[in-house]
């Protein structure tokens, strides 16, 4: 059990030019993109968009505009122009030949295949199979980006209730290993978890609750595409910053007027970024400046937008907040404050404070036993047994197998 607890501690925690192809490939200049960019037929926004250069791409440069504000790049067999301001350039732009949109076109632009819909699965690779569940490494589409994650589903006949699991941390810190899915799948849930953009091998750049939230909400159509999933029984759980993503997903659902997520649990959830900046300036000051460009006292807007304590009335599903009173990373007062606000607005909410509970509740099996009971209440059906004790041997076996395979 001690080894199991140690493992669980980490769970919640854009006119082409007459430039010969051979010459373009020999310029020695490359560009790198950190965000999706429009690929245009000429050097300026007045030219048509002919494609997309995706975040994380490194491409050879073939030419430049007269003022070097646009760069002609080669993406596969396709030529196009992108704005220099959004590029990281390796080599000298001044060494490139100058061209403009009135020059004789270069190679014909091929037809670009459409980007698959959000939530479409690009790959699903089985890597562990237990007596009760199959576990897969997942790649899926979100905002035109390929996002990594994990997916598991029970072997028993479905359809099953499903859980979206939101990891903590940011970028590669706190990246999923796959072990996190074990307890949830072994008790009978279909489980899906995202590494989020900018982390764990995913394309794109993390925004800590910005557009990367789409990597969470796009898991809903993914789940609905799976025959093993009961689309009327989707729940969500998130720990630490994954708790913040859970609150944001519930807010987004309310604003859309949908009700796909039926219940939620947060563990050591980050609910107030401004308070967190005061609690842990050693962590937040460098991180906040890097992520948002200013501290809360200069520009509070991005912090308020990510803090559930500032919009509790937008959380409209039954939610259970779990927090340890010995959490020295995110204060238990964050969950206490949010809980009092949820109750004030008449929402169905429950708060469990664990004596001596640490961040992520690793010393309380990650808070999962109580989370299972909450989900049993709201999405359980006859035959479901979302109970830790009833499945503890299977959970232990799965965690050991997943730990070895990571």
pLDDT at position 112 is 53
Token digits of residue 280: 């842990």
227: phi then psi, degrees, rounded to nearest 5: -60, -25
Q: Are 267 and 238 in contact (CB under 8 A)?
A: yes
Q: Tens-of-pLDDT digits for all 406 residues of the chain?
A: 444 444 444 444 432 322 233 333 456 889 999 888 998 888 888 888 888 888 888 889 888 888 888 999 888 778 889 999 999 998 888 888 887 654 434 444 445 567 899 999 999 999 999 999 999 999 999 999 999 999 999 999 989 999 999 999 999 999 999 999 999 999 999 999 999 999 999 999 999 999 999 999 999 999 999 999 999 999 999 999 999 999 999 999 999 999 999 999 999 999 999 999 999 999 899 999 999 999 999 999 999 999 999 999 999 999 999 999 999 999 999 999 999 999 999 999 999 999 999 999 999 999 999 999 999 999 999 999 999 999 999 999 999 999 999 8
Q: Would you tell me how many other CB atoms lie within 10 Å of the CB of residue 123?
A: 11
Q: Which residues of 4-21 are buried (b: 16+ CB within 10 A; e: fewer)?
A: beebbbbbbbbbbbebee
Q: Look at residue 1 in the predicted model and tell me its pLDDT.
A: 47
CB 115 within 8 A of CB 58: no
CATH number of 21-95: 2.30.30.40
User: Can you tell me the distance from the alpha carbon of 282 to that of 17, in angstroms, rounded to the nearest whole number?
Assistant: 52
CB crowding 132-158: b at 16 or more within 10 Å, else e: bbbbbbbbbbbbebbbbbbbbbbeeeb
- Give the global pTM: 0.76
Question: Is 258 exposed, middle or buried (CB count within 10 Å of its CB: 0-12, 13-18, 19+)?
Answer: exposed
Distance CA 209, CA 179 (A): 24
Q: What is the DSSP string of 270-329?
A: ---HHHHHHH-HHHHHHHHHHHHSS-TTT--HHHHHT-GGG-GGG--S-EEEEEETT-SS
Order of strands, sheet of 145-154, starting from the edge strand that comes earlier in the sequence: 121-129, 133-142, 145-154, 190-194, 160-166, 229-239, 261-267, 319-324, 349-354
CA-closest candidate to residue 170, choices 138, 136, 212: 212
Could you tell me how many residues make up the chain? 406
Q: If 0-12 CB within 10 Å is exposed, 13-18 middle and 19+ buried, where does residue 402 land?
A: buried
Q: What tokens does 85 get?
A: 């301001």
Distance in Å from the first CA to the final CA of the chain = 20
Backbone phi, then psi, for 276, in 5-degree steps?
-60, -35
Give the residue among 2, 406, 8, 377 at the shortest CA–CA distance from 186: 8
Provide CB contacts within 8 A for 324, sequence distance 6+: 268, 332, 353, 354, 355, 356, 357, 358, 359, 361, 363, 364
Sign of CA dihedral 193, 199, 204, 209: positive
Is-same-fold flag (21-95; 121-272+307-405)? no
Sheet containing 78-83, strands listed edge to edge, beginning at the edge strand earlier in sequence: 49-53, 37-40, 78-83, 70-75, 58-64, 30-33, 87-90
- Domain boundaries in the chain? 21-95, 121-272+307-405
- Residue 371, classified by CB atoms within 10 Å of its CB into exposed (0-12), middle (13-18) or buried (19+), is buried
CATH class of 121-272+307-405: alpha beta
DSSP secondary structure letters along 187-230: TT-EEEEE--TTSTT-SS---SSSGGGHHHHTHHHHHHT-TTEE
- Give the per-residue pLDDT at 95: 85
């Amino acid at each position: 059990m001690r080894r199991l607890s140690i493992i669980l501690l980490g769970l919640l925690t854009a006119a082409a030019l007459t430039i010969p192809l051979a010459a373009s490939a020999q310029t020695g200049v490359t560009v790198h993109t950190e965000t999706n960019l429009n690929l245009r037929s000429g050097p300026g926004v007045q030219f048509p968009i002919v494609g997309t250069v995706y975040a994380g791409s490194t491409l050879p440069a073939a030419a430049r505009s007269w003022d070097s504000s646009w760069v002609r790049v080669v993406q596969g067999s396709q030529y196009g122009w992108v704005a220099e301001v959004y590029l990281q350039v390796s080599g000298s732009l001044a060494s490139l030949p100058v061209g403009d949109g009135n020059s004789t076109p270069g190679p014909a632009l091929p037809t670009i295949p459409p980007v698959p819909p959000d939530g479409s699965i690009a790959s699903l690779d089985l890597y562990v199979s237990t007596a009760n569940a199959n576990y897969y490494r997942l790649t899926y589409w979100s905002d035109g980006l390929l996002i990594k994650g994990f997916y598991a589903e029970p072997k028993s006949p479905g359809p099953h209730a499903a859980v979206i699991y939101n990891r903590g941390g940011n970028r590669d810190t706190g990246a999923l290993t796959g072990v996190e899915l074990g307890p949830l799948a072994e008790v009978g849930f279909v489980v899906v978890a995202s590494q989020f953009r900018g982390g764990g091998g995913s394309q794109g750049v993390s925004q800590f609750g910005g557009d990367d939230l789409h990597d969470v909400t796009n898991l809903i159509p993914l789940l609905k595409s799976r025959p093993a999933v009961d689309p009327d029984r989707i729940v969500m759980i998130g720990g630490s910053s994954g708790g913040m993503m859970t609150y944001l997903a519930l807010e987004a659902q309310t604003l859309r007027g949908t009700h796909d997520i039926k219940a939620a649990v947060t563990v050591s959830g980050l609910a107030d970024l401004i308070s967190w900046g005061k609690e842990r300036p050693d962590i937040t000051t460098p991180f906040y400046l890097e992520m948002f460009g200013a501290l809360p006292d200069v520009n509070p807007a991005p912090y308020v937008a990510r803090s559930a304590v500032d919009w509790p009335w937008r959380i409209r599903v039954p939610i259970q907040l779990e927090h340890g009173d010995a959490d020295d990373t995110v204060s238990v007062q964050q969950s206490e404050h949010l809980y009092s606000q949820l109750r004030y607005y008449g929402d169905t909410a429950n708060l469990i404070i664990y004596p001596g509970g640490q961040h992520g509740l690793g010393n309380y099996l990650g808070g999962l036993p109580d989370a299972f009971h909450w989900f049993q209440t709201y999405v359980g059906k006859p035959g479901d047994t979302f109970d830790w004790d009833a499945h503890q041997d299977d959970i232990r076996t799965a965690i050991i197998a997943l730990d070895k395979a990571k």
